[in-house]
């Protein structure tokens, strides 16, 4: 029996989340092998080349960029640079599942920011869900004298950068191809990391580290392709909730690769964030209907 559009979209979204989490695993594994910016730069070179090849092959590059979108792409690139820097630095110092759990607050932060800056309506139910969700984030971060890790602030800074990125993305005109935006932004991140890497002492690229960089580049590229495909198949309200499968992958890979398992408070916070995020997505879909 053929799959419905929603089922195909959900499968693509789960594949995207698996690919992105495997990419995170490769990058975390590079923590002892390469300096931060060298790792981002080398991954970016391969990923940008792959995205450019896709864009050329699909004809996206020939369609150009709509007027006024270059400024938005520039802002998106700056936000992406901040997100990559903060996220990978947090990843180098925190368990994979903890960083992934903090990132699950994105639907909440994007909804709140859209209400504040884009004047999108948010009812009291969704606002309550956002506040409860932030309570879940606090359980993960635990900003107190005990249990607090300053590296958790890096994960929160990454969330802020991705929120800005998503808000700017909403303002892009439909005429500008997604692949063109991806190539431009990936090139900006790679260029920034290349310049910043000059402030570090480069480490020799051993065969094992080279394989990890190649694996990270391949999986981040697959994650992008799958995520774009998922948004073009089925209803967003039916597909978007499957973003939360990344937390399941992070728990499995964190335990299998690094021997990490979050403590009960972190798991409770992750469950609260995921639950309120799912509710927010459901309410938004219902409002649109």
pLDDT for residue 286 is more than 80: no
What is the rounded distance in angstroms from the CA atom of residue 92 to the CA atom of residue 221? 21
What is the rounded distance in angstroms from the CA atom of residue 97 to the CA atom of residue 274? 13
Question: Which element (helix H / strand E) includes 252?
Answer: helix 245-258
pLDDT of residue 89: 93
* Overall average pLDDT of the 221-235 stretch: 80
| Strand, coil or helix: 203 | coil
* Overall average pLDDT of the 237-260 stretch: 88
Residue 112 confidence class, pLDDT cut points 50, 70, 90? confident
- Of 269, 118, 134, nearest to 126 by C-alpha is 134
Residue 189 confidence class, pLDDT cut points 50, 70, 90? very high
- Give the sign of the dihedral formed by CA 67, CA 72, CA 78, CA 84: negative
Residue 61 confidence class, pLDDT cut points 50, 70, 90? confident
Q: 3-state DSSP helix/strand/coil percent for the chain, to nearest 5?
A: 80, 0, 20
As a whole-number percent, the residues of the chain with pLDDT over 70 amount to: 92
Could you tell me which residue, 144 or 198, shows the higher pLDDT?
198
**What is the overall mean pLDDT for the chain?**
87
Could you tell me which residue, 146 or 7, shows the higher pLDDT?
7
pLDDT of residue 130: 82
pLDDT for residue 48 is more than 80: yes
Q: Is the pTM of this model over 0.85?
A: yes
- Of 247, 288, 1, 279, nearest to 102 by C-alpha is 247
How many domains, the chain? Answer: 1
What is the rounded distance in angstroms from the CA atom of residue 86 to the CA atom of residue 244? 21
Query: Which structural domain, as residue segments, surrounds residue 208?
Result: 5-288
Q: What's the length of the chain?
A: 289
Note the pLDDT tens digit of each residue in 75-88: 999 999 999 999 99
CA angle 7, 256, 146 (to 5 degrees): 105
* Overall average pLDDT of the 168-191 stretch: 89
For residue 174, with 0-12 CB atoms within 10 Å meaning exposed, 13-18 middle and 19 or more buried, which class applies?
exposed
């Amino acid at each position: 029996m053929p799959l419905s559009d929603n089922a195909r979209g959900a499968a693509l979204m789960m594949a995207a989340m698996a690919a992105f989490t495997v990419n995170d695993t490769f990058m975390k594994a590079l923590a002892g092998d390469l300096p931060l910016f060298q790792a981002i730069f080398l991954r970016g070179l391969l990923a940008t080349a792959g995205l450019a090849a896709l864009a050329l092959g699909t004809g996206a590059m020939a369609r150009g960029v709509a007027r006024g979108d270059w400024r938005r792409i520039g802002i998106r690139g700056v936000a992406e640079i901040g997100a990559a820097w903060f996220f990978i630095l947090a990843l180098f110092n925190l368990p994979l599942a903890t960083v992934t759990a903090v990132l699950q607050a994105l639907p909440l932060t994007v909804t709140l920011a859209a209400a504040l800056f884009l004047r999108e309506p948010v009812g009291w139910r969704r606002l309550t869900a956002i506040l409860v969700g932030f309570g879940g984030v606090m359980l993960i971060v635990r900003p107190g004298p005990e249990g607090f890790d300053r590296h958790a602030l890096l994960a929160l800074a990454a969330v802020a950068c991705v929120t800005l990125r998503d808000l700017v993305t909403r303002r892009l005109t439909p005429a500008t191809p997604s692949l063109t935006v991806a190539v431009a932004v990936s090139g900006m991140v790679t260029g920034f990391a290349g310049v910043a890497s000059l402030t570090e002492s480069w480490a020799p690229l051993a065969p094992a580290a080279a394989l990890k960089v190649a694996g990270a580049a391949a999986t981040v590229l697959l994650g992008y392709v799958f995520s774009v495909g998922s948004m073009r198949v089925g209803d967003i309200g039916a597909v978007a909730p499957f973003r939360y499968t990344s937390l399941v992958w992070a728990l499995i890979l964190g335990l299998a690769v690094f021997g990490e398992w979050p403590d009960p408070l972190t798991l409770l916070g992750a469950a609260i964030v995921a639950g309120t995020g799912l509710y927010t997505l459901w309410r938004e879909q219902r409002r649109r209907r």
